[in-house]
Structure 1
Amino acid sequence: MQDLLGRLTALDPDASETLKVVSYFDALVARSVGVESMLRGAAVLSGATVGHRDSRRCVRVRADGVRIEPVEPSDAWNLRESAPDAVVWIERDGAAHANDGMILERLALALGIIRARRAGGAESAVELVISAFSAAEERAAAAARLRLPAGRLRVVASPPDPAPAEEHPSAVVATRQGLVRATLIGADERAEDAWAETGGVRLGVGGAALTEHLADSWESALIAARLTTPSEPVLVADDLGALLFIAQTAGGAQHPDAVALASLDNRSRELLNAVVDGQSVRAAAVRLGRHHSSVQERLASLVEVLGYDPRTPLGQARFVAARLLLRLRD
């Protein structure tokens, strides 16, 4: 498939885009993602709201991956039957785009495969129990299928591969940041232990919550995963404190402090990180292997760019918040 895609890209860009649609849905099917994740993938591909309605429920996902209120499909939209009692559609004003038909065709086929494969499976139960849009009775039934222990649990966000140990229920979920594995662990368990044989995997660990509130744990786990670094591959959302609130409320907006920080080159940001983390210019100079006076001189020019001094308590708080927002953007 990849070899064919490479050849078609050179010969016929339009045909290669169609093949990319096929490859994308093949990847989602291979990961056994759920209905909502499948719709999110179709919405991202089409750049428009995508919906699905069957005898039990109606789900709509915007192009930015956010689930929105259900509505009855309109005849003005491009619709396709995905089962005898189900239909999928793309909500687009005006003429359909070139790949809308292919997206709907592959979406309908993928949903049929996933329905057959996941009926009563653990993957679908995990996705239901962490979804903020599942009804209370759906979450309760999913928790019963998973035989979750009483008490508080945590959701761990990690790359799709590797999978955790079999005793930890998990599922690959399509998010706005791509495919992410969601894994359930006990509130007092160390997330690293579930991946003990692999090591080095990046893990965002959500806050502890009862089964009915695992959607909140999943949200915080995704934020924590996005803030992990090679030097800090495991991050627990609880350790973020008030920074978690900032990350949750930031949305897609960028504060001017983050914009200013983004305008700097990597070397300048490395210097600022060393000053703030070391809490002194002298400590930063030692960490960077540079002379104290050169660090002092460069810092003075960076203060002008930032609009504040990161060595002061308030300036340090502003820098840490800006750095967090920049990591989320990246």
Structure 2
Amino acid sequence: MRELIERLDVADNGAAGALRVIDHFDHLVEAGAATTPLVRAAAALAGCPAGFHDASRTLTRRFASNGQALPDDADHIWPRLSVPGRPGSSVWLERVGDAGPLDPLVLERYVRALQSSTTGMVGSTTATIRIACDADTSSADRRDAVAKLGLSWPITVVATALGVRLSSRSTPIGNHVITLFTGLPTFAAGVRAGTARADALPDLPLGVGRALVALRVTDRVDGPGASIVLHHHLSALASIAERFTPEQAAAVEDVRRIEALLPGHPWVVDIVQAVLDRSSLRQAASVLHVHHSTLQERLAWLANHIGYALTHPGGRQRAAVAVLLWRVAQAA
């Protein structure tokens, strides 16, 4: 093969280039190459960055044409090819401008090589859940994953902290555990979770993001607020929570005031939450296990330190946003 490539370099450079692509990937397959060398080879042969995504492992690999590893780039979406036999896997070339003459061949041999490689292939429930929830999974692979999991619509996506598994359909994704349920689940006592509803295939990846937003604004399980939050119940508040990073939320003046008071007065957030969630101060006092007069005294003290009163309509709205953003800030 290599002697033929050398002869064709003189007679037909295009044919030589094509044979070089085929030969290179064939050698990698024969050597049992793992995923990383295959991505590097695609980038080098195409002369542009190449990428690989495997939803079953929440894995993305990108390499420049010189072999340098590149970080994941979620801001740019390149045309992708699915890898048959590897559900949730896709490849791409990051070519700016017109496609190169060998791009189709590079992609074809790249996909074939990945099909031949069994490195990193996962056939577990964990992999299936990740495929179902991954935004880059093809519709066909997501549909197959949902069927394999035995789920039917509507599906509830539940986000919890790492280590909290709610069922056999729970798996770690990123820094949280994601669980999928058919219909509305019933939660045991002591669970802290965010949930979102998915009615169709495209809703599953969106549901993961929404469930994580809901989780960010939950209260602790023994707090006066909700430890299980449904995204659709947040409504407009969800839009606020989604638009702030923890760092941005922590920088808001009203959030900084709350945070500054907590070291000496750890009851501040609980009082605000209880007053916001109850229709009367007596109900709030009961939830907080304090006397009605004690609650009134603390509210008066709090108003002097945060600059507004929770018992006034404008103050309630301001406090609701402040506590929401404080919870977002704590989710860092």
Q: TM-score range by the shorter chain?
A: 0.5 to 0.7
- What amino acid sits opposite 1:157 in the alignment? A
Superposed counterparts of 1:131-142, under 5 Å: 131-142=134-145
Gaps of 5+ in 1: 1-32, 40-49, 72-85, 87-111
Q: Please give the TM-score of this superposition, normalised by the length of structure 1.
A: 0.56
For the structure 1 residues 145 and 267, does the alpha-carbon distance in structure 2 shift closer, same or farther, using more than 3 Å as the test? closer
Task: Output one character per residue of 1:32-90: Cα deviation in whole Å (capped at 9) or x when no partner.
Answer: x9533x66xxxxxxxxxx8479xxxx99437xxxx44379xxxxxxxxxxxxxx9xxxx
Q: CA deviation at 1:282?
A: 5.7
Q: Does 1:185 align with 2:210?
A: no
Q: CA deviation at 1:297?
A: 4.8
Q: Which residue of 2 aligns with 1:35?
A: 57
Q: Which residue of 2 aligns with 1:244?
A: 238
Q: CA deviation at 1:135?
A: 3.8
- What amino acid sits opposite 1:125 in the alignment? T
Q: Which residue of 1 aligns with 2:159?
A: 157
Superposed counterparts of 1:120-139, under 5 Å: 120-139=123-142
Superposed counterparts of 1:58-69, under 5 Å: 60-61=71-72, 67-69=74-76
Q: Which residue of 1 aligns with 2:204?
A: 214
For the structure 1 residues 147 and 270, does the alpha-carbon distance in structure 2 shift closer, same or farther, using more than 3 Å as the test? closer
Q: What RMSD in Å do the two structures reach over aligned CA positions?
A: 3.7
Q: Which residue of 1 aligns with 2:255?
A: 258
Q: Is the 8 A contact 1:207 1:217 kept in 2?
A: yes
Superposed counterparts of 1:273-312, under 5 Å: 273-278=273-278, 287-290=288-291, 292=293, 295-312=295-312
Q: Which residue of 2 aligns with 1:101?
A: none
Task: Output one character per residue of 1:87-122: Cα deviation in whole Å (capped at 9) or x when no partner.
Answer: xxxxxxxxxxxxxxxxxxxxxxxxx99814x1x333
- What amino acid sits opposite 2:299 in the alignment? L
- What amino acid sits opposite 1:224 in the alignment? A
Q: Distance in 2 between matches of 1:113 and 1:233?
A: 42
Q: CA deviation at 1:321?
A: 1.7
- What amino acid sits opposite 2:181 in the alignment? I
- What amino acid sits opposite 1:35 in the alignment? R
Q: Please give the TM-score of this superposition, normalised by the length of structure 2.
A: 0.56
SS in 1 for 2:198: coil
Q: Distance in 2 between matches of 1:280 and 1:158?
A: 31
Residue of 234, 250, 257 corresponding to 2:228 = 234
Q: Which residue of 1 aligns with 2:85?
A: none
Q: Distance in 2 between matches of 1:207 and 1:236?
A: 8
Task: Output one character per residue of 1:9-45: Cα deviation in whole Å (capped at 9) or x when no partner.
Answer: xxxxxxxxxxxxxxxxxxxxxxxx9533x66xxxxxx
Q: Which residue of 2 aligns with 1:23?
A: none
Q: Which residue of 1 aligns with 2:267?
A: 267
Q: Number of paired residues?
A: 227
SS in 1 for 2:120: helix
For the structure 1 residues 273 and 288, does the alpha-carbon distance in structure 2 shift closer, same or farther, using more than 3 Å as the test? farther
Q: Is the 8 A contact 1:153 1:211 kept in 2?
A: no
- What amino acid sits opposite 1:230 in the alignment? V
Q: CA deviation at 1:156?
A: 1.0
Q: Distance in 1 between matches of 2:201 and 2:70?
A: 22
Is the radius of gyration larger for structure 1 or structure 2? 2
For the structure 1 residues 114 and 186, does the alpha-carbon distance in structure 2 shift closer, same or farther, using more than 3 Å as the test? farther
Q: Which residue of 2 aligns with 1:329?
A: 329
Q: Distance in 1 between matches of 2:167 and 2:285?
A: 44
Q: Distance in 2 between matches of 1:322 and 1:185?
A: 32
Task: Output one character per residue of 1:140-166: Cα deviation in whole Å (capped at 9) or x when no partner.
Answer: 3433443432x3211111234453444
Q: Which residue of 2 aligns with 1:203?
A: 193
Q: Does 1:115 align with 2:120?
A: yes
Gaps of 5+ in 2: 1-54, 79-90, 92-116
Q: Is the 8 A contact 2:244 2:328 kept in 1?
A: no
Q: Distance in 2 between matches of 1:321 and 1:113?
A: 50
Q: Is the 8 A contact 1:157 1:218 kept in 2?
A: yes
Q: Distance in 2 between matches of 1:186 and 1:298?
A: 45
Q: Distance in 1 between matches of 2:131 and 2:70?
A: 13
Percent identity between the two aligned chains: 25
